[in-house]
Structure 1
Amino acid sequence: MPSNYGVLTLGDALITFNPSNTGPLRNVQTFARKVGGAELNFAIGCARLGLNTKWISRLGGDEFGKVIYNFARGEGIDVSHVKLVDGYPTSLNFKEIREDGSGKTFYYRYQSPILTMEPTDITLKMLEGIDLIHITGVFLAIDPKNLVITKQLLKLAKQKDIPVSFDPNIRLKLWSIEQAISTYKEIFPYVDILLTGLDEIDMIIGNSTEQSLVEFAKSYAISQLVVKDGGNGSKVYTNDTWYAKEAFSVNPIDTVGAGDGFDAGYIYSHLHGYKPLERLEFANGVGALVTTVSGDNEGLPELDEVLAFIRNEKVIER
């Protein structure tokens, strides 16, 4: 059943072109048009699980922008704070998918419409009915001004005592690791739940031993440090204890979006009072299901699908 919990996220979205066949992009002749973007994927994942989801963004006032806007609205996402902007082309990306499900992404987001957003666009009214705010490093990487916008949102969240989750989602095609770390250090003091890949946290703090992670979490008073490690499962450090859960066994077709799906699953289970191991299991289940379908968000499951998958511990027919 849908819940009354409200989640808000802030960020860009893109038209994604999925290749018609696997292999190097230079050998691909045709593509299928899809919708993607880390924050939008998260929003879709939350909406499908039954959370009331609000998305703040800017899209080009072009046909592609209308595609994304209508798609998000059709998923039940609150798009009242998404604006279509003339003169700025909607961002694009082209995906390359290899036979093992791994891939690369090629971005075309120069003059992104998200550049037109200002700190004054973020208001307390946006936070009405919101129980958690989720941000990612992708929005922060697009333009330096986005740090000011994000901090405006985080300060308002603190005023209203709304918890914050953060996924670094490092994109080294958009900025350097040094720029990312410098920016993240201004974000971490506001973060309650950190959702990071093992390789990402290793890049951020230069170490990924459990002791180093504990010291890092305590230094910023992060109450839940969640580490995603793909097929090796996930773990969380919370209340002075580590909890770990193995991954589900699936045959991955496309791994893009699995991390965003994991985030949505973890936030859903956190808001609903799941225990640490239950949160990891639920999030692992969402992430696994995402990989069984080609596309950034096509595989994001609905609640009953996740529950059935977890209970049966097997790949369901999709």
Structure 2
Amino acid sequence: MPPSFSVFTIGDALITFNPSQTGPMRYVPQFERKVGGAELNFAIGCSRLGLRSKWVSRLGKDEFGRYIYNFVRGEGVNTEDVHFVEGYPTSLNFKEIREDGSGKTFYYRYQSPILTLAPNDITEEMLEGINLVHITGVFLAVDPKNLEIAKRVLEIAKQKHITVSMDPNIRLKLWTIEEARKAYFELFPYVDILLTGLDEIKLILDSSSEEDFVNLAKRYNIDQLVIKDGANGSRVYYRGIWFQKEAFAVKPVDTVGAGDGFDAGYIYGYLHDLHMEERLAFANGVGALVTTVSGDNEGLPYLEEVWSFIRNEAVIER
């Protein structure tokens, strides 16, 4: 039976170079080529969970661009609105991974192909049959005009009564917190599900008060305010009640992409109407599994793996 729900996302993609060993990047002798990008990771995560997934982007007309395109198609993601452009090299990043699994990312995305995408490239037809639109702050940070592109997507989504989710995914290497706040607050009125890290919402509101978190949701009519807190688990504010779920104990080797995986898991739970606590547990499970594999999206699990993991029905071998 084909999947019954479709998700849409838009954003840059990169060739990610993973280090051959842990430690400061300047001491790493070799790197392995991978594929990355927050929105792309989300699209792949959804596809592996059995959702129909559509990703809109631009790639350099070069070998790296072709590699990304073929990789994404192989994951079952709809790429009909992904196009190659001349004169804009496919973006790169290099990862640094420390012994505890934490890491840093160094971007080389000057003249990214996504810069050629314009608001008038977004059509109503692109969102036909879509159940949910997912936007992240990474796309917004790459270029100032991307805010207008995102607004165009979200305006169409609202006209079509499509649910909107957003992950602020703050990248302070790409813009300032002041620039980020301005963009986020312009988009919050469109958002139904806000998926944010605890550190991120503290930065956005310049506050650690739970009351301020709730007031944000109420002010913008955000139906579900989801807060990710890594090893401390996650929680969601929904209709006046906080629901929470503890994290799963795993030994992380690479935390990059865990938040994107969590988002895909939560959206799967939302679309399949799981109870709030089960929805959080499912998302926590996806995020945990991602951290057990090196790479941005290699650890994104398939549906049966997630259920086996969170129900302790089987040992996940990776």
Q: What is the identity, as a one-letter code, of the residue corresponding to 1:228?
A: K
* Matches of 1:207 and 1:166, distance apart in 2: 20
Give, in angstroms, the shift of residue 209 of structure 1. 2.4
TM-score, structure 2 as length reference: 0.99
What is aligned with 1:292? 292
**Gap runs ≥5 in structure 2:** none
SS at match of 1:264: helix
Give, in angstroms, the shift of residue 3 of structure 1. 2.3
What is aligned with 1:65? 65
Q: What is the identity, as a one-letter code, of the residue corresponding to 1:174?
A: L
* Matches of 1:218 and 1:290, distance apart in 2: 32
Q: What is the identity, as a one-letter code, of the residue corresponding to 2:140?
A: L
SS at match of 1:80: coil
Q: What is the identity, as a one-letter code, of the residue corresponding to 2:83?
A: K
* Matches of 1:46 and 1:149, distance apart in 2: 22
How is 1:1-318 mapped onto 2 (pairs within 5 angstroms)?
3-312=3-312, 316-318=316-318
Is the 1:249–1:314 Cα contact (8 Å) retained in structure 2?
no
Q: What is the identity, as a one-letter code, of the residue corresponding to 1:294?
A: S
- What's the CA shift string for 1:9-51, capped at 9, x where partnerless? 0000000000000000000010000000000000000000000
Q: What is the identity, as a one-letter code, of the residue corresponding to 2:312?
A: N
SS at match of 2:45: helix
Give, in angstroms, the shift of residue 315 of structure 1. 5.8
SS at match of 1:79: coil
Give, in angstroms, the shift of residue 206 of structure 1. 1.2
Is the 1:2–1:49 Cα contact (8 Å) retained in structure 2?
no
Is the 1:141–1:180 Cα contact (8 Å) retained in structure 2?
yes
Q: What is the identity, as a one-letter code, of the residue corresponding to 1:292?
A: T
Is the 2:194–2:222 Cα contact (8 Å) retained in structure 1?
yes
Q: What is the identity, as a one-letter code, of the residue corresponding to 1:59?
A: L
Is the 1:15–1:90 Cα contact (8 Å) retained in structure 2?
yes
Identity rate, percent:
71
Q: What is the identity, as a one-letter code, of the residue corresponding to 1:73?
A: R
Give, in angstroms, the shift of residue 2 of structure 1. 5.2
Is the 2:235–2:244 Cα contact (8 Å) retained in structure 1?
yes
Q: What is the identity, as a one-letter code, of the residue corresponding to 1:94?
A: F
Give, in angstroms, the shift of residue 129 of structure 1. 1.1
Runs of 4+ in 1 over 6 A off after TM superposition: none
* Matches of 1:313 and 1:138, distance apart in 2: 36
* Matches of 1:313 and 1:291, distance apart in 2: 20
Is the 2:308–2:315 Cα contact (8 Å) retained in structure 1?
no
Structure 1 pair 288–225 and aligned structure 2 pair: CA distance change class (3 A): same
Q: How many residue pairs are counted as aligned between the two chains?
A: 318
Is the 2:137–2:167 Cα contact (8 Å) retained in structure 1?
yes
Give, in angstroms, the shift of residue 316 of structure 1. 2.1
TM-score, structure 1 as length reference: 0.99
Is the 2:58–2:83 Cα contact (8 Å) retained in structure 1?
yes
* Matches of 1:181 and 1:211, distance apart in 2: 19
Structure 1 pair 3–256 and aligned structure 2 pair: CA distance change class (3 A): same
Give, in angstroms, the shift of residue 258 of structure 1. 0.1
- What's the CA shift string for 1:169-188, capped at 9, x where partnerless? 00000000000001111010
* Matches of 1:73 and 1:96, distance apart in 2: 28
* Matches of 2:73 and 2:314, distance apart in 1: 32
Q: What is the identity, as a one-letter code, of the residue corresponding to 1:57?
A: S
- What's the CA shift string for 1:110-140, capped at 9, x where partnerless? 0000000010110000011100000000000
Give, in angstroms, the shift of residue 4 of structure 1. 1.3
Give, in angstroms, the shift of residue 211 of structure 1. 1.3
